[in-house]
């Protein structure tokens, strides 16, 4: 073949460019540690998501020291959970699947970018250095409401982040003379034990108890007030643990009323 000398020169130049691009990308993978979404995750049928241990309740959970997993379900036209709350300076592994059609999982302004394909689970690990809020959008056309499909990722300062959940309850009514029991449950989703204080108020009575909730477990606390001291009537109660607060009310009824009601019923 007769090839002009300049053209031979350019073929060499073109090969240098091509190899240079490949080398840069390989450096990105090996040197900078940027990985591609792969096929490591098990597949999951969309109609079995509700029964799935992880996607049945889309959530964030701690899986190791400074490591969290976020199970995210994309579906027309929402993301679950929403918002997704995660700590800064920790490794977050998103596991993303779709319940129906192909969706996108994209955080504009970052390199967080994945497809959510029904049947498949995309796995991607990232770490946010700064607290802040980021939009999460679907960037693959998924139907008529596609442009409304957005969620929120809230990155909290590491020391303010927890996976604590508080629930509390009392009976609706208590007969005067009996005890008013306020049952609070503190759940610690993190791996480290949670040492904290539970504060409670029932009417004008206050309670306080220090507790230690082990990692990934729950602890029940019960506060007891004497209904006679509270008096007949409606009483508000509040339970607080760290920044969490539950409120409700309990009604103390007099013996006569209780008896009358009991009488009516029988």
Partner 1 sequence: MTALFVDEYPAEARLVKAAFLSSFIAFGIGALFGIIQALHRTDIFRFIDSIKYYTVLTGHGVFLVIAFTIFFLVGLYQWAVTDSLERGSVDIRFTWLWYGLMAIGSLLAGISILAGFLDQPPMVLGSELRANVLFTFYAPLEANPLYYIGLALFLVGTWLAGIDWFRTWWAWRDENPGKRIPLRTFMVLTTMIMFFLGSIGVIVSILVFILPWSLEITESLNPLLTRTLFWFFGHMIVYFWLLPAYLLWYSVLPKLSGGRLFSDPLARVVFILFVLLSTPVGIHHQYMDPGIAEGFKFIAMTNTMFLLLPSFLTAFTVVASMEHGARQRGGEGRFNWLRALPWRNPAFTGMALAGLIFAFGGFTGIVNAGMNINYLVHNALWIPGHIHAQVGTATALTLMAGSYWLVPQLTGNRLVGRQVALFQVVLWFVGIVFMTNSMFRAGLVGVPRRTAEPQYQGFDYDVGVGSMGELNAQLALGGTLLFISAMLFLVLMLLTVFNNDSEPIVDGTLPPALSGPEDSPQVLDNLRLWFGIAFALVVLAYALPLAGIAAQSGLFGQDIQPFPVSSEAVIYFQFGLEYVGAFVT
Partner 2 sequence: MGSRVSREIGHDEYDPWGTLSLIVVYFVALTLMWLFTYFVEFVGNTPTVMGMIVPVMLG
Whether 71 contacts 63, CB under 8 Å: no
Distance of CA 141 to the CA centre of its chain: 26
**Residues 50, 56 contacting (CB under 8 angstroms):** yes
Quick one: 3 or 159, whose CB is closer to partner 2? 3
Stretch that binds partner 2, among 1-9, 179-187, 199-207, 256-264 (CB under 8 A): 1-9
> Is the CB of residue 82 less than 8 Å from the CB of residue 66?
no
Question: Hey, which residues between 61 and 90 contact partner 2 (CB under 8 A)?
Answer: 63-64, 67
φ/ψ of 25, rounded to 5, equals -65, -40
By CB under 8 A, tell whether 93 contacts partner 2: yes
Rounded distance, CA 252 to CA 232, Å? 5
Q: Does residue number 242 form part of the binding site for partner 2 (CB under 8 A)?
A: no
Phi-psi region at 12: left, alpha or beta (left = phi > 0; alpha = psi -120 to 50): alpha
Q: Which of 36, 39, 210, 266 binds partner 2 (CB under 8 A)?
A: 36
Q: What b-and-e string marks burial along 212-227, b requiring 16 or more CB atoms within 10 Å of the CB? A: ebeeeeebebebebeb
Measure CA 18 to chain center.
43
Scanning residues 8 to 37, which ones bind partner 1 (CB under 8 A)? 10-11, 14-15, 17-18, 21-22, 24-25, 28-29, 34-37
* Closest distance to partner 2 from the beta carbon of 43 (Å): 19
Lay out the site mask for partner 2 across 119-138 (x = CB under 8 A, - = otherwise).
Answer: ----xxxxxxx---------
Q: Output the smallest distance, CB 222 to partner 2, in A.
A: 34
199, interface contact from partner 2, partner 1, none, CB < 5-8 Å by kind: none
Q: Which residues form the interface with partner 2 (CB under 8 A)?
A: 2, 4, 6, 9-10, 13, 17, 20-21, 24, 28, 32-37, 63-64, 67, 91, 93, 109-113, 123-129
């Amino acid at each position: 073949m007769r090839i002009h000398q300049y053209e031979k020169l350019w073929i060499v130049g073109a090969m240098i460019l091509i190899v240079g691009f490949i080398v840069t990308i390989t450096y990105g993978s090996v040197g900078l540690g940027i990985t591609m979404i792969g096929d490591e995750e098990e597949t999951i049928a969309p109609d079995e998501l509700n029964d799935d241990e992880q996607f049945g309740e889309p959530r964030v959970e701690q899986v190791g020291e400074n490591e969290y997993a976020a199970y995210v379900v994309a579906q027309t036209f929402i993301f679950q959970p929403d918002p997704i709350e995660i700590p800064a300076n920790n490794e977050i592994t998103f596991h993303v699947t779709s319940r129906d059609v192909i969706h996108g999982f994209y955080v504009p302004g970052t390199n967080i970018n994945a497809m959510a394909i029904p049947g498949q689970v995309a796995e991607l690990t990232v770490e946010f250095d700064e607290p802040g809020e980021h939009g999460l959008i679907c960037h693959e056309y998924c139907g008529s409401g596609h442009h409304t499909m957005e969620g929120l990722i809230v990155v909290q300062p590491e020391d303010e982040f927890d996976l604590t959940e508080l629930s509390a309850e009392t009976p609706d009514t208590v007969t005067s003379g009996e005890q008013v029991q306020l049952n609070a449950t503190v759940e610690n989703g993190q791996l480290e034990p949670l040492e904290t204080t539970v504060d409670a108020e029932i009417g004008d009575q206050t309670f306080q108890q220090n507790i230690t909730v082990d990692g990934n477990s729950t602890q029940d606390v019960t506060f007891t007030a004497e209904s006679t001291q509270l008096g007949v009537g409606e009483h508000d109660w509040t339970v607080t643990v760290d920044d969490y607060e539950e409120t409700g009310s309990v009604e103390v009824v007099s013996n006569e009323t209780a008896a009358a009601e009991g009488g009516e019923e029988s």
